[in-house]
Amino acid sequence: MSEGLFQKLPLPDGGTVRQPVGLYIDGQWIKSREVLETVDPATEEVITKVYLAGTEEVDLAVKAARNAFKNWRKVHGSERGSLLMKLADAAEKHIDTLSAIEAMDSGKPKDSNARGDVEGTIALLRYCAGWADKIYGSVIPTGSEKLAYSKRLPIGVCGQIVPWNYPLNMAGWKIAPALAAGNCIIIKSAETTPLSLLYFAQLVDKVGFPKGVVNIISGLGKVAGSHIASHPGIDKIAFTGSTEIGSTIQKLASSNLKTVTLECGGKSPFIVFEDADIEQAVKWAAVGIVFNSGQICTGNSRIYVQEKVYEKFLEKFKDHVLADYKLGSPFDESTVVGPVVNKVQYDRVLHYINVGKNEGARVVLGNEQNPSKKGYFIHPVIFADCHQGMTIVKDEIFGPVVAVSKFTTEDEVLEKANDSIYGLAAMCFTQNLERAHRVSDELETGMVFINSAENSDIQAPFGGVKMSGIGSELGAPGIETYTHLKTVHLNLSNKL
């Protein structure tokens, strides 16, 4: 064990973990000059300190990745797939530890939330492993004297920056397809939640990925993140986070015209028509805005209910959240809602709650007290009688806060739903399938969920339009985004 690069940490459930705190670069754990504390949001206590990558360490990672890419790009897809399968198996063996670290570092309830995130990461590793030897181009018919064909090749060295709301899961969305396609990566965790990804790096090392293929670092966005985005030795950037930072990333990436994938903010409309199954709509609405403490980019934070069932929906929504969404410690088996991730987010969400009250929204739920004297716990808040001009209807709050409005006609609700700078997801509840498909065509979003919410699938593309991002992750497009097309023209006649 390298001195100072690993720490034996106690877990809130009584276990302990050998936690890496260094930087994983070129198959080695190294230190840097700067460290940062990571804090348990349920207790406000410091968990540990991790080493932060500066520009020098990013340069080392890029150099390692570029050297590794010379050989990794030639490794057969079946071999890459085998390594990804081994990584999935290793993660599965460590699922309890990964779930506990994720719960401690991010505040996710361990059993009802964090474990599912780790399971999703494992499933995606296996899904992408299956793709690794099935990435191909096409033959283009051009006549008898010429053969033209295209090939899908790895882009090269990919810089990846992940958010704090799904620390390991979002990392998996980037790591798995990039490696399956034959790229090398430098991935930076969110500065708030670095621990689960660092632990995962041990598994990468254990299963035998060649040195330099996977480099995992902690670092500040304004230092390491900016340097990754602008680095001339990096060929592609994949970023998940706020729209504001995504815009900055895109500008920095223009330094050498990197390929860019951005998955940014959202303000997803959730439409309930009067013929909807109200009981089911209520359950899905709660999942979509209360789960993960509302820290979900696709969270249905704007709910539009047709006037005939408006009050009925509100009453059932309130009762359901109160009954089924217990707020408490992430390590309590009965907890469904944990704390928000840190003090900054806690203050931000409370600010928006006060703004909603001051702007005249009716508080249906949200005056309950914090059950703990410590921790960044926020009870779910349901605002009613909201209108389009309200701040809580326009801004992405990223907490367990929802703004409910009523509507009369289909045209009216479509206009309201599309009245946003964001276009990530939308939800439509109706038993009229003709209407469901018609409305889904009119909604200006990258994804539409009909009679459901937040049940995306690793086999289906995930991405948005407008200020919600560029490109897609998951599914076949999630693999293709880590490749570039090369077209070959073969003159069969050898004549001009």
Q: Is 56 a catalytic residue?
A: no
Of the candidates 181, 17, 190, the residue with the CA atom closest to the CA atom of residue 95: 17
Structure tokens at 331: 């390590």
DSSP conformation class of 183? -
Of the candidates 446, 453, 439, the residue with the CA atom closest to the CA atom of residue 474: 446
CA-to-CA separations, 244 to 219, 326, 349, in angstroms, rounded: 19, 33, 17
DSSP conformation class of 420? S
How many residues comprise the chain?
Answer: 496
Rounded Cα distance, 86 and 158, in Å:
22
Residues 6+ apart with CB under 8 A from 318: 364, 365, 382
List the catalytic residue out of 57, 102, 263, 454: 263
Rounded Cα distance, 310 and 397, in Å:
23
Residues 6+ apart with CB under 8 A from 289: 296, 299, 300, 301, 380, 400, 401, 402
Helices (H), 110-232: 115-131, 167-180, 195-207, 226-230
CA-to-CA separations, 469 to 13, 188, 239, 260, in angstroms, rounded: 38, 19, 9, 10
Rg of the chain taking only CA atoms, in angstroms:
23
Q: Please identify every residue annotated as catalytic.
A: 263
